[in-house]
C-alpha cells in the first residue's frame, strides 16, 4: 500500500491510498456484481464504490488487528521472538522451550484475520524427517475467538 499526500480543491492535504489486488484478497475475491441489463450506470457505479469502500475498510481493520495480535505476542513472548513481519504483520516466529525441549512456533496470520484463525506450526530444532526437513506439525485446534483482543489471544495460545 502506498500513500502520498495530495491537495484537495480547498488546498488541504489529503491522503491517497493505493492498494493492489492482493491486498483485497485478489481480483476474484472482490465479487463485483455484474452490470444489470437495462440498468443505469449512474445507479451501478455508487454500488460498486460502496462495495470497494467496505472491502478496503475491512482490510484496514484486519491490518490493525494483526498488528495488535503481533504486539501482544511480542509482549508475552518477547525473549523468544526470532522474527516477525513488521510491515504486513502476517508472520511471527518464536523460539520456545518446554521441559528442556526447544522448538520453533511459526504463527501465520491470514488475510481475513481475525475472522479466519491463525495457523500455528510447531517445528522441532532437533529432529528431521526422512526427506531431510525439520519435523513440523501444523496446529489449528486451539482456543480461539475472533472477538478476543490480541492480548487475550496471546494468553490463550500460551
Note the pLDDT tens digit of each residue in 42-67.
Answer: 989 999 899 888 888 888 898 999 99
Q: Where is pLDDT greater, at 158 or 38?
A: 38
In which residue are the cell numbers 509482549 written?
A: 75
Predicted confidence at residue 21, as pLDDT, reads 59
In this structure, how many other beta carbons lie within 10 angstroms of the beta carbon of residue 116?
12
Predicted confidence at residue 11, as pLDDT, reads 60
Please state, rounded to an integer, the average pLDDT across all residues of the chain: 84
- Max alpha carbon distance in the chain (Å)? 71
Residue 19 has pLDDT above 80, yes or no: no
Structure confidence at residue 5 as a pLDDT band (50, 70, 90): very low
Predicted confidence at residue 140, as pLDDT, reads 84
Q: What is the CB-side half-sphere exposure of residue 119 using CA atoms within 13 A?
A: 11
Predicted confidence at residue 6, as pLDDT, reads 47
Structure confidence at residue 32 as a pLDDT band (50, 70, 90): confident
Structure confidence at residue 39 as a pLDDT band (50, 70, 90): confident
CB 90 within 8 A of CB 106: no
Distance, CA of 52 to CA of 49 (rounded, Å): 5
State in words which class domain 59-157 has.
Answer: alpha beta
Structure confidence at residue 31 as a pLDDT band (50, 70, 90): confident
Compute φ and ψ for 113, nearest 5 degrees.
Answer: -75, 140
Q: What is the mean pLDDT of residues 4-17?
A: 55
Amino acid at each position: 500500500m502506498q500513500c502520498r499526500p495530495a491537495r484537495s480543491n480547498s488546498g488541504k492535504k489529503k491522503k491517497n491510498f493505493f492498494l493492489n489486488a492482493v491486498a483485497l484478497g485478489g481480483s476474484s475475491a472482490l465479487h463485483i456484481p455484474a452490470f444489470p441489463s437495462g440498468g443505469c450506470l449512474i445507479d451501478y457505479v455508487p454500488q460498486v464504490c460502496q462495495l470497494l469502500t467496505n472491502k478496503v475498510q475491512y482490510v484496514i481493520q484486519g491490518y490493525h488487528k494483526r498488528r495488535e495480535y503481533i504486539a501482544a505476542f511480542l509482549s508475552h513472548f518477547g525473549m523468544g521472538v526470532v522474527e516477525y513481519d513488521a510491515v504486513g504483520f502476517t508472520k511471527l516466529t518464536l523460539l520456545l522451550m518446554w521441559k528442556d525441549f526447544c522448538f520453533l512456533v511459526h504463527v501465520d496470520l491470514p488475510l481475513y484475520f481475525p475472522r479466519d484463525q491463525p495457523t500455528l506450526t510447531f517445528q522441532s530444532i532437533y529432529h528431521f524427517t526422512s526427506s531431510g526437513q525439520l519435523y513440523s506439525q501444523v496446529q489449528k485446534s486451539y482456543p480461539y475467538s475472533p472477538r478476543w483482543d490480541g492480548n487475550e489471544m496471546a494468553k490463550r495460545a500460551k
